[in-house]
Structure 1
Amino acid sequence: MASNIETVFKVVLIEDDPMVQEVNRQFIEQVNGFQVVGIAGNGNDGLQLVRELSPNLVFLDVFMPSLGGIETLQRLRTMALPVDVVAVTAAKDAETIRTMLRHGVFDYIIKPFKLERVKQTLERYRLQHTAWTEVPPVTQDDLDRLLLTAGASENTVHTGAPRQHSGQDDLPKGLNAITLNQVLQALRLQGGGLSAEEAAAAVGIARVTARRYLDYLEKTGLVNLEVNYGGVGRPVNRYVEKR
């Protein structure tokens, strides 16, 4: 019998700016079912809070004194603590994004941000938690579908596009759902669109491979192809997520 008791997700904030700490706390606690249980101003104190409070989720800054965000995330993974992480940072360079993604961040939010962006992340987190706990995958197809659409609403994928156009089923030979989702995440992080070279750097794949994924997303209607003729040399194809 299903329980009527709503799950409350515990969140720890690791952020050195007191103003951002308060903004994060207010934004998070405006989303039903999420509660900030601890706040730390650096990575060392944050790790201690995670050990003591056993949160479900950590909001983690990158640039901090006394152990930055990348090192903190690495230690969380080394310690095998059962916690998910959302990076919330002003860092927008490809290497930092790629490093955080390699260490398994659930999402990457670039400062400054709005309440709706935080709400989107937390609602996806709630839905993914439900998907993993209530509908365990039993086949490879089930697993691929869940990895691509985990956290998506019943009718949308992460981009907000209709599910029937997400490309989650019957991907062309040589494409896989996990990498496709990573490319989608990279597009969301860069609102102005990405070239194949930029997408390759963000995800950590070859440029020609990134081009195949971007072309597929353009064909399925998730992104628009824009040709940039500015500057000297050949025009650059940029892929922009549809809104």
Structure 2
Amino acid sequence: MDPIRVLIVEDDPMVMEINAQFVSRFSGFVLAGKAFSGKEAITLINQVNPNLVLLDYFLPDTNGLSLLQTIRNKHYPLDVILLTANRDPNHIQEIFRSGVVDYIVKPFRFDRFQSALEQYRSTLKRFKENRPFEQADLDGLKGAKHKSSVLEEHLPKGLNDRTLQQILQFLKGQAEPLSSEDVAIGTGLARVTVRRYLDYLEKKGEIVMEIQYGSVGRPMNKYRL
């Protein structure tokens, strides 16, 4: 398979370089261009024909949703992953309706970025095989988990399914990432108990841990699905 050509659209030069370095660490991907505005992005799309656009929401001359809709209206044969600090549920819903393969919230961990690119590479490879899809293939493309789900695995000693499901169900209803203390208060469980389950879920890749820095004090770990 030919290298996947990536265009990064990001107005912050420092973030641009970080994302470019991330892309360079993956075999099978090549950085095709850098755009710092929506207008520049459209120009580069026409020039370099990317397979994948890594798109920020906040741009100096437009926003990620408007640019995504322009890309779709022009029928460019490319895919888009949002890399943004935008957490507005209405914007996110419209973005998914406009067609993106993933949405990654800043600040994000490298392993989350890695997972997104690896999943995209696997998906693209599957499409290029040009053979009929089975349900298992489609489930794999959407990241669906069935028999291999963490809830059906043998849990470590001291953990049980009921408490695990209680924590997961609570997290599903949250729009923002939460600390272990927030989860403990919301579920009525002891904080030390919640922390054990969150650590387990994070290691299994069922939830994502984000490190948030305040103006004072130590950084705080927060969790989301």
TM-score range, shorter chain: 0.5 to 0.7
Q: Is the 8 A contact 1:42 1:68 kept in 2?
A: no
Match status 1:121 vs 2:116: yes
Report the alpha carbon displacement of residue 147 of structure 1 after superposing the two structures with TM. Answer: 3.0
8 A Cα contact 1:15 1:21, kept in partner: yes
Matched with 1:131 is 126
How far is the alpha carbon of 1:164 from its aligned partner? 2.3
- Compute the RMSD of aligned alpha carbons: 2.9
Instruction: Say which SS state the counterpart of residue 32 (structure 1) adopts.
Output: coil
In the alignment, is the contact (CA less than 8 A) between 1:89 and 1:110 conserved in 2? yes
For residue 115 of structure 1, report the CA deviation from its aligned partner.
1.7
SS of 1:92's partner is coil
- CA drift of 1:229 comes to 5.2
**1:109 equivalent among 98, 104, 125:** 104
> Following the alignment from structure 1 to structure 2, what is the Cα–Cα distance between the partners of residues 227 and 130?
44
CA distance in 1, matches of 2:148, 2:99: 26
Distance in structure 1 (CA, Å) of the matches to 2:185 and 2:147:
27
Equivalent-residue separation in structure 2 for 1:111 and 1:227 (angstroms): 26
- 1:62 and 1:126 map into 2 onto residues whose CA distance is 23
The 2-side partners of 1:49 and 1:22 are apart by 17
What runs of 5+ residues in structure 1 fail to find an aligned partner?
1-5, 152-156, 167-189, 200-225, 231-239
| Alpha-carbon distance in structure 1 between the residues aligned to 2:137 and 2:102 | 16
Within 5 Å, give how 1:181-196 maps onto structure 2: 193-195=171-173
Partner-residue secondary structure (3-state), 1:109 = strand
Q: CA deviation at 1:148?
A: 2.4
Measured after TM superposition, the shift of residue 48 of structure 1 is: 1.1
What is the aligned counterpart of 1:29 among 24, 28, 31?
24
Equivalent pairs: percent with the same residue? 34
Taking the aligned partners of 2:70 and 2:138, their CA distance within structure 1 comes to 25
What is the match of residue 219 of structure 1?
A: none
Aligned pairs, how many?
167
In structure 2, stretches of 5+ residues that fail to align are 150-167, 176-183, 189-197, 205-225
Cα drift, residue 130 of structure 1: 1.2
Given that 1:137 and 1:146 are in contact with CA atoms closer than 8 Å, whether structure 2 keeps it comes out as: no
Q: 1:145 corresponds to which letter in structure 2?
A: A
Q: Kindly report structure 1 stretches of 4+ aligned residues shifted beyond 2 Å.
A: 135-138, 144-148, 163-166, 226-230, 240-243
Aligned to 2:13: 18
